[in-house]
Amino acid sequence: MTIPHKTAIIPYLDELDELAQKMGAVNTVVRTTEGKLKGYNTDGIGFVRSLEEAVGGYLIKTSLYYLLVLVEQLVALPLLCSNKAIVM
C-alpha cells in the first residue's frame, strides 16, 4: 500500500499490529484465521533488511540505533509543535 492509502485504510481494519499502531500507517493487510482484517507496517523491516544486505555487521547496529533516535524525534515533533506535553 502506498501513501495516502497507508493512513486512509486504518478505519476499515479490525485491528492493527503494534508497530502499525505506533506509526499510524499500514502498508500490509492480512485476513486472520478469524476472518478479521489486520494491518501491519513492514516499511521498517524492509529498510533494515536492505541495509543489512548492503552493509551488514557493526554498521547495521550503529545505523539502527541512530535510526531509532531519529524516529523518536520525528514522532515527537508533531506533539512539540502543538504545544502539548510529551510523556515518553
Catalytic residue list: 6
Average pLDDT over residues 48-76: 71
**pLDDT tier at 28, thresholds 50, 70, 90:** very high
Mean pLDDT of 2-28: 90
Select from 23, 26, 12, 39 the least CA-distant residue to 74.
Answer: 23
User: Of the ranges 6-20, 36-50, 67-81, which one carries the lowest mean pLDDT score?
Assistant: 67-81
> What local confidence, expressed as pLDDT, does residue 40 receive?
93
User: Distance (Å, rounded) from C-alpha 17 to C-alpha 41?
Assistant: 8
